[in-house]
Amino acid sequence: MNTVTMPLRIRSLATSAARRLLPSEPLSHEAHRAIYGDLSYLDGRQIVVAAELSGLCGQGGAAFPAHRKMTAVREAARRSGRRAVVVANGSEGEPASAKDKALLWHAPHLVLDGMALAAAAVGADRAFLAVESGHGLGRYLTAMSRQRPAPAVPVTIIEVPQRFLSGQESALVSFLDGGPALPRYQARPVFERGVGGGPTLVQNVETLAHLALIARHGPGWYRSGAATSLFTVREADSAPTVVEAMPGTPLGVLTGAGAATGQALLVGGYHGTWLPLTATALEAASPATLGVPLGAGLLAVLPHDRCGLVETASVLRYLALESAGQCGPCLNGLPRMAAAFNELAHPTPRSDLRRLRDDLSRWAGLITGRGACRHPDGSARLARSALIAFAAEVDDHARGRCRAPGRPPMLPTGPASPAAPIEQGV
């Protein structure tokens, strides 16, 4: 397995080094201070106000306003009399994504600065930085944290298992409390009762890095559109590239030359949306104008010599195997959808195509909004979008034809949890 200590492909479309999330090389604490300057330590209320005025939202997929999360945790701590906890979420469960790993490798001190600010904002006395195991990040970040002056709130680096759902906030809380890294049913939300029973703020590492830049440059700088975002861009048979770009950057610029010859684009990761690619979209559309969730910030270009149905079937199988298996939509719905899509992915003359399409649409509707977490919703979104984006391929497969016979899927799927074969899940 490749490790994060190996060179990552980075492409920056930003200009000012002092306002970028990703420097060209990993930075020591001394080099970090030379580029970004010392952190302005505001008091807790000032940090929350700065986050609100900036319009900062979570970068982990949900895009929830950061100041509202911090306020909720702060108020829950006041009401309960318990000290809050901060969890920086760098446990990138998306097998195709690399943006959080790149950020933690190249700019660890921006994230650690953001954690210090978040801890002050909510009155925390403990903080955890959660990263995915198997990449060497735990050891590296521990060494980086030792370069810094003793923090007011100690930070513990913790490695979570390589599972798709390990980064879900209740799964992180469960793991930090000694349980499995799986979403759990909760009578009270994490912001009220999280790690050790205390109110807990869970924020993506990119969100915290932005908070550190806002503290330096002010909320007006961020709101003006001068801040950047990170994307993972994937093409067939090549390593991912992490791209840092300004708001409004066209898709063609973000994805590079490969998109010009692609047939479709997966936006937002494995809980994302397939969109057909056109020259007009490449020239004019940007992630902000697509009208679909950006999720984990993944942009995967599907070339014409690959089959979108095969790709989707592979990902849906992986998502079904990675589920917690503790609610009806995950235990029954996802395996059924994966098995049905597996049928569509095999080019075989069939007369029951309409029935198969109707079943997939019905199951997608039944599982949406009914799970213990949002895993079923995202999986249903992916399946629905594939039926639309690859409608012509569905018809071709029903006639026994495929545009890419024998080609394996290009999108990676990580080690799935033990489970019965999907084909038996129906």
Q: Does a structural domain hold residue 53?
A: yes
391 and 299, same domain (yes or no): no
Distance CA 129, CA 89 (A): 6
Q: How far is residue 254's CA from residue 265's CA, in Å, rounded to a whole number?
A: 12
Cα(407)–Cα(305) distance, integer angstroms: 8
My answer on whether 42 and 96 are in the same domain is yes
Tell me, what amino acid is at 305? D
**Helix or strand or coil: residue 224?**
helix
Question: Could you tell me if 23 and 156 lie in one domain?
Answer: yes
What is the domain count for the chain?
3
Q: Is residue 33 part of a domain?
A: yes
**Which CATH number characterizes residue 89's domain?**
3.40.50.11540
Place of tokens 């890419």: 404
Domain encompassing residue 397: 308-424
Burial of 136 (0-12, 13-18, 19+ CB in 10 A): middle
Asked whether residue 236 is assigned to any structural domain, the reply reads no
83 and 150 both lie in a single domain: yes
Domain assignment present for 3: no
413 in the same domain as 370: yes
Residues forming beta bridges with residue 299, ordered by sequence position: 233, 267
Residues 176, 258, single domain; the answer is no
* Contact call for residues 163 and 135 (beta carbons, < 8 A): no
- Pair (125, 202) in one structural domain: yes
pTM for the full model?
A: 0.92
Q: Are residues 272 and 319 in the same domain?
A: no
Give pLDDT tens digits along the chain (426 positions): 344 444 578 898 887 889 999 998 899 999 999 999 998 778 999 999 999 999 999 887 778 899 999 999 999 999 999 999 999 999 988 999 999 999 999 999 999 999 999 999 999 999 999 999 988 999 999 999 999 999 999 999 999 999 999 999 999 999 999 999 998 877 789 999 999 999 999 999 999 999 999 999 999 999 998 899 999 999 877 788 999 999 888 888 888 766 777 899 999 999 999 999 876 667 678 887 888 888 889 999 999 999 999 999 999 999 999 998 888 899 999 999 999 999 999 999 988 899 999 999 999 999 999 888 899 999 999 999 999 999 999 999 999 999 899 889 999 997 544 333 333 222
Residue 407 domain-assigned (yes or no):
yes
Q: Using DSSP, state whether 101 is helix, strand or coil.
A: helix
Tell me the C-alpha distance between 351 and 315, whole Å.
Answer: 26
Q: How far, in Å, CA of 143 to CA of 156, rounded?
A: 12
What amino acid occupies position 227? A
Say whether both 312 and 299 belong to one domain.
Answer: no
Co-location of 283 and 337 in the same domain? no
281 and 391 assigned to the same domain: no
